[in-house]
Structure 1
Amino acid sequence: MKKGTVYSWGSAIIIFIVLMIVTPTIPQSQAYHDFADQRSFLWIPNTLNVISNFPFLIIGLIGLVLCFFPGNYFRFSLRGERIGWTCFYAGVAAVAFGSSYYHLHPNDDTLLWDRLPMTIAFTSIMAIFVIERIDEHKGTYSIFPLLLAGLVSIFYWRFFDDLRPYAVVQFVPCIAIPLMAILLPPMYTHSTYWLWAAGFYLLAKVEEAADKPIYSWTHHIISGHSLKHLSAAMVPVFLTLMLAKRTVQTERTSLYKTWKISWARSKGKGSEEERFDHSYSNVAAEETR
């Protein structure tokens, strides 16, 4: 492993240790397991919260099949991409089982199996972004350490009743990925799909927080937590669409720069530059004698 990679990991570990020292522990609230919709249909406890996880299984399996589809369907061209996306889709498919198992009997023990596959998906996405936007070698080397960090955060929470490491693993990608998607030049086209995915994940978190109010607003038809599962499942849907549509970017330009140029053109600032750039395009070269 190169020195730069070692220094990056070393700095991240030091920052994490400092945060663990200066911040108080965050225990798991038992009120978290008190969901609004606790109805049972066909002898399935908390039915809608259980079956609303089914889309994760479908999109996860589709993604896994397409990762190894003949002809390189997803156009993988960087080292470690296939491994990273395979881990991501495996985590997504496993969410269907882990989250369903948890919602059958919501408690701290079953919650462990809900959070494990989600953590695999989070950390895989971070590694994929490093591969595509920063350095394919560093990103490839980071897959296993990131997965390990995610698993350690889960077991640390379960054994010490402290959510701080898990909060870092869950929320750092939520901040870092949209920022990197906007600021860093992409290797592939259709980069805006990352922002759509981030938007649906943000919507899912809002619906989770508004579980009971949404259940009341919909006259007990569906709860915020069930809607959260459906919105969160849209994240891998948009990422799969991105992978299916994308091609290698010929000119790597960040979304921020693209938006800035578009804004300037809409204000008329780019018209003069465009005329200057193309003013000699139709002038025939004089033949030398």
Structure 2
Amino acid sequence: MWRRKLYGWGAAIVIFAVLMIVTPAIPQSQEYHDFADQRELFLGIPNTLNVISNFPFLVIGLIGLVLCLRGSFRLSLQGEVWGWSCFFIGVAAVAFGSSYYHLKPNDARLVWDRLPMTIAFTSIMAIFIIERIDEKTGMTSIAPLVLAGIISILYWRFFDDLRLYALVQFVPCIIIPLMAILIPPMYTHSAYWLWAAGFYLLAKVEEAMDKVIYKWTHHIVSGHTLKHLCAAMVPVFLTLMLAKRSIEPDRRSLFQHWRIYWVRVKESRFKEASLDCEYAAVSTPT
């Protein structure tokens, strides 16, 4: 077992080294800070909607953390408590970091916007390893993964290169939905992972269309404000999943469930077609 883990880490390091060699540096564009909605609507708050739209992160982060520490969720393994606690702390911290950044957008403040998000991303990866692969491996990976996320932020800030941060942000977005679909879960309600992934993808689209959405809505709300609200739905769905789930008696992956459902649908359609053919073959007396 330890050899397989060693080979896996070795392969990951080699792939990472090759990517860093063959890909060019990605500097932080200063146009990123030029958001569509820069209105000061009330209380003298600059970029008002982009600031206050972070409040849901604080609410759901604190609720999730309290429920996690009180034992209100179904958490069978000790590593899960640590992993989910780190996740909800990261979510709650997003409210402060992102609000601080949007009061006066610049690179120095962007560090505090991205840091809590990175803690949440890396914690989720550790949680998935605990639940779907191996508890011991996942628990021991919490600190290294969070540290890797922090290093990616520092690397960007000091070397103006976003490659490490891009890996930390987007690799979980690809791996987690795939693992949720292909690897049998320990708990029920695994489909909530896909709902969370879907809302995160929608948030990234809204972020990219910040100015377009602001124009479409006749300067009522911008894409970046909607991005905050949709991104906050990710921990909402995960909190609902934790509150509703139980131990999965039938350890089948979502892909297996979907395949079984599809086979049943095909069989029912075939039976209906056979019955239609039988009725058509019966001749009526004249």
Q: TM-score, normalised by structure 2?
A: 0.92
Output the CA distance in 1 between the equivalents of 2:101 and 2:27.
18
**1:236-274 residue CA offsets vs partner (Å, 9 max, x unmatched):** 0000000000000011000000000000001117999xx
Output the CA distance in 2 between the equivalents of 1:145 and 1:56.
25
The residue aligned with 2:236 is 237
1:29 partnered with 2:29: yes
CA contact (8 A) 1:99 1:113 kept: yes
**1:207-237 residue CA offsets vs partner (Å, 9 max, x unmatched):** 0000000000000000000000000000000
The residue aligned with 2:170 is 171
Output the CA distance in 2 between the equivalents of 1:6 and 1:53.
40
The residue aligned with 1:46 is 47
Output the CA distance in 2 between the equivalents of 1:8 and 1:146.
15
- The AA in structure 2 aligned to 1:18 is V
The residue aligned with 1:117 is 116
Q: CA deviation at 1:12?
A: 1.3
CA contact (8 A) 1:200 1:235 kept: yes
Q: CA deviation at 1:7?
A: 2.8
Specify the SS of the correspondent of 2:251.
Answer: coil
Q: CA deviation at 1:67?
A: 0.7
Percent identical residues: 74
Specify the SS of the correspondent of 1:268.
Answer: helix
Deviates more, 1:10-19 or 1:174-183: 10-19
CA contact (8 A) 1:94 1:117 kept: yes
Structure 2, unmatched stretches of 5+, are 272-286
Matching of residues 259-270 of structure 1 within 5 Å: 259-268=258-267
Q: CA deviation at 1:2?
A: 3.4
CA contact (8 A) 1:66 1:74 kept: yes
Q: CA deviation at 1:91?
A: 0.2
CA contact (8 A) 1:264 1:270 kept: no
Specify the SS of the correspondent of 2:88.
Answer: helix
Q: CA deviation at 1:13?
A: 1.6
CA contact (8 A) 1:157 1:163 kept: yes
Matching of residues 4-153 of structure 1 within 5 Å: 4-41=4-41, 42-69=43-70, 72-153=71-152
Q: CA deviation at 1:50?
A: 0.2
Report which of the two has the higher share of helix. 2
- The AA in structure 2 aligned to 1:67 is C
The residue aligned with 1:280 is none
- The AA in structure 2 aligned to 1:43 is G
The residue aligned with 2:207 is 208
CA contact (8 A) 1:50 1:100 kept: yes
Output the CA distance in 2 between the equivalents of 1:241 and 1:138.
26
Change (3 A) 1:221 1:86: same
CA RMSD of aligned residues (A): 1.4
CA contact (8 A) 1:186 1:252 kept: yes
Q: How many matched pairs? A: 270
Specify the SS of the correspondent of 2:28.
Answer: coil
Change (3 A) 1:178 1:8: same
CA contact (8 A) 1:55 1:96 kept: yes
CA contact (8 A) 1:265 1:271 kept: no
Structure 1, unmatched stretches of 5+, are 273-289
